[in-house]
Amino acid sequence: MLRNLLVFLLILYFLFLIHQDWLRLTSLGQENLRTASSLAQEQKLNKNLRTKISLLKTDDYIEDLARERLGLIKPGEMAIKIIK
């Protein structure tokens, strides 16, 4: 009788341990998915920023920015402002 009770308690203890490991594994799997998704987003942002950096190194892009945002013109050109 006592022996059967000990075997039952031992089995119950191992089931508890297995359950705890399963919960931990599930939690780690979900965290892995979140991390992979976050990494993909950051890599995409990094790629976009590197593209912008390479554009900022070109004279044509800098000229376009100066014309659009600062309203600068080259010597001899005439600026025309459209009013709506």
Token look-up 């976050």 returns: 38
User: pTM for this one?
Assistant: 0.57
**Which tens digits make up the pLDDT trace of 25-84?**
999 999 999 999 999 999 999 999 999 999 999 999 998 888 888 888 888 888 887 888
pLDDT number for residue 32: 97
Q: Any idea which of 8-12, 14-18, 32-36, 74-78 has the lowest mean pLDDT? A: 74-78
Element (H, E) at 29: helix 2-56
